[in-house]
Structure 1
Amino acid sequence: MTARTGAARTEGTGAVNARTGEPRSALAAAWLRALEEVAPDAGRLARGRAYARDGGVDAVRVGPGRLVGFVHGSRPRPYRASLRLPELTPGEWDTFLGLAVADPAHTAALLDKELPPALAGEARAAGVRLLPEPGELRPGCSCPDPVRPCKHAAALAHEAAALLDADPFVLLLLRGRPEDELRGELTRRQRATGEAARPAMPTVPAEVARARGVRPPLPEPLPLPEAPAESRSYPSVPGGPSPDGLEFLASDAAVRAHAALVRGTPPLPSLSVWHDTIRLAATHPRLTGRRTLSPLFASFAKAAGRTPQELTRAAAAWRQGAEAGLAALEEAWDPPAGDFDRARGALAAAGRPRMTIWRNRLTDPTHTVQLRYGRDGRWYPYRSDPGEDDWWPEGPAADDPVGALES
């Protein structure tokens, strides 16, 4: 695990993290207490705190048993500071993971990148040291100061506290296990625990069941769930699909299954990979960020063999009218005489400039507004920047051309 934290800010061993303005986590506070226990000089701790607060710590790297970073002090050349922490033994890891999966709340918290204080306490009672014990934290530095921790190692410790505030897996990595390995093992044990707890169904030999003249009544159906089931976290497998993508698709399937059970929503029609990707992008706000495209959105576009811009345009068309709206984007066709021919008259009566016709499309003289007549008999508004031929869906479809322009 590697982290660049030159912009991180921490202050003191107090209860507030200066980076976020929120109370410091118990994990980070315990880390700094461990530093104080091995520090013979409060002055060096204060200097280190100031270095961290002023952005003097850079290029922090975390690995099993060791944390290293470069600290800029009064000299031009930074010093290389380090902190070492003993790794847990395989037996201690087995105990910790067993405690974690024994309580579903502990498992959920860890998979949500939180380390519950109660779990840390249970682990300590079982002999598993998660938080630094007195004398365990061993500082080092390339500076000539013979006292340890020096101010540079103290600065690194304060920077590490900021990392622990944001991600407790930093501590678990220092104790010897990377995040992806831990998440995968937690998921495996959680699944195994659930299967072991499932009661065995009574069985009857097949020949006995066939010989019975009267069949027992079927059991009552289970009550309908109040909400879709939450998706479990998936481990990261080298060369395998993205865990975030799997979790997203599983959540979408659960939502659609719940709607089918509770509201009788019909199943989706058979969609191609590209069209189903468009549906997901159009109906799930989680795929897009504010004014940006999320990495998950970009990965979905790549998996469908398209660019994020192509997926963005197609998703906007889907929001206009699902498959019919997408057809208006992708297809030009020759509509029969009737409503389409009367459209220009309706637009002229509404005071709109006369629009040119090409197949099922009407385009205004400025070449910035276009109406597309869909095979469903609705009108789909499009816009383009002046001087360009780059049409994008704009607003909802309407039953008449004037309404489409005014929506």
Structure 2
Amino acid sequence: MTTTGAHQDAAGATARGWWWWGRRRSAVLDVTLGAVSALECAAEGVGFADYAALPVPVGVLFGLVVGAALVVRRRWPIAVVLVSIAITPAEMGYLMGIVGLYTLAASEVPRRIIAVLAGMSLVAVLIVTFVRLRQDIGSAEFDPGPWYVPLMAVIFSLGLNAPPVLFGLYIGARRRLMESLRERADSLEQELSLLADRAEQRAQMARTEERTRIAREMHDVVAHRVSLMVVHAAALQAVALKDPQKAAKNAALVGDMGRQALTELRQMLGVLRAGEAAPVREAVPLAAVGRAAAAAASAVEAVGAEGEPCLDAVEELVEQSRQAGMVVELQVMGEARAYGPQVERTAYRVVQEGLTNVHKHAAGAEVVVRLAHRAGEVAMQVENGPVDGKAADAGLGLPSGGNGLVGMRERVTSLGGVFVAGPTEEGGFRVSAVLPAPVRGM
């Protein structure tokens, strides 16, 4: 339940407990005004009884009953004003008339009704005042002039009717303005809450995407290097006693690959430490999320520019697999040229993942790596032949999490490319990708 709904429920409960009043002090105020109005009318009822030749108790009782009608001014303001107009000839109910007109003008009654009732009250007071002044002047010993009675009647009637009507209109307009501002504030609060929720969702999506990207990078760095290290370690174990010179060569290769893996891991950890300097907080503004994403992308590109392998290092990548005992053929078609850093990194990772899968699942199979430079795109393919049964039985049992090809597909499709992986008719396996690759600087 919202805060506004809770307030409305509380107001409704209070209204049910105090009839039509929303608050206890409103009821106390109206009852007090009703009592004062009843006493005023009762006192004025004495003079009315003498003027109308009625018993005084009747006049007093009539004043008490009529004056008490002010209690219901909030519920029936029109009725209260009509009663005050009706008793104007009896020269009673001045407080009722003033408070009733104020309440009527401040209520939600249409303006036309307010104008009609205010006009009726003005005319009634004007007529009664005019007649009373004429009677008083007629019994006096001096003549103030013909203008005195009309002027005083107009002033008196305007003084009793205009201020409460104008003040009531002002209070009503102010009340409606405050309600409108309160509704707008509630609406803005809801909109801000929705925006905060969306910002949190976007921040969560940014964190998820960053974790996925880091997982892909860690997989690419670790899987290939460690796979080659395991292959060389197995070869080292097999020839350690028979051929010490070859064993020493394999040991050196294992050390070189371990150092390369550590270098790439340090670069990745450097990106993570840079990201820790500006952590994502709750209710992050959308602009801050965008700046964080741009900074992360810039950091990744900087890592690649400082030494992350690219297309120029594919030949070295193939040579490492050859040194591990794999039969690999590299075919390059088209004129080699420089591409954007993301394209070069992704192409390199596709070839790397393809060779890693051969080491894991097709030990001993012959491999063909194809790299084609075309107009506006670059294509790469890693295809291995069928696995020899003896070589398969002698496999190293390298673990696989099944995330390599999924990560490659995400990389390629995020750049607008096409990725295909699957078995061949000859019993081998093929990994292919095509990347849109405009020439750098164009």
Structure whose CA Rg is larger: 2
Higher relative contact order, chain-length normalized (CA < 8 Å, sep 6+): 1
Structure-2-length-normalised TM-score = 0.18
Structure-1-length-normalised TM-score = 0.19
